């Protein structure tokens, strides 16, 4: 698998285009969503991903309050970037065979 981060391909200040986000989601096997900073835009994008039935992996730094997600109990919490990496290796393994 290859990682895809949308802002690597377009500027942050560009206007939001729902069609573009849908196209990007359509190319994914799984979405990794970090809810650490409690950004409303992340929850919006999570809703889009879940709405089309794409598998999701939710992560957040320990201490993050989790808002409005059907998968609240499946959030993998981490203390450090090293722990995040270890969690992601485990969580992505089943999807790498897809």
Taking the C-alpha atoms of residue 58 and residue 1, their distance in angstroms, rounded to an integer, is 18
State the number of CA atoms in the 13 A half-sphere of 26 facing the CB. 6
Q: What is the pLDDT along the chain (98 residues), one digit of tens a residue?
A: 777 776 666 666 667 677 777 787 888 889 899 999 988 888 888 888 888 888 999 999 999 999 876 777 889 999 999 999 999 999 998 887 65
Q: Annotate 21-51 with b (16+ C-beta within 10 A) or e (fewer).
A: eeebeeebebbbbbbbeeeeebbebbebbbe
- pTM score, whole prediction: 0.79
For residue 27, what are its two tokens?
A: 């190319």
What is the rounded CA–CA span in Å between residue 50 and residue 68?
A: 12
């Amino acid at each position: 698998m290859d990682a895809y981060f949308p802002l690597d391909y377009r500027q942050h200040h560009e206007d939001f285009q729902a069609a573009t986000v849908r196209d990007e989601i359509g190319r994914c096997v799984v979405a990794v969503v970090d809810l650490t900073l409690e950004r409303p835009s992340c929850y919006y994008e999570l809703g889009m991903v879940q709405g089309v039935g794409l598998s999701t992996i939710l992560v957040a730094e320990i201490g993050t309050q989790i808002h409005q997600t059907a998968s609240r109990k499946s959030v993998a919490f981490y203390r450090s970037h090293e722990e995040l990496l270890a969690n992601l290796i485990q969580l992505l393994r089943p999807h790498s065979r897809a």
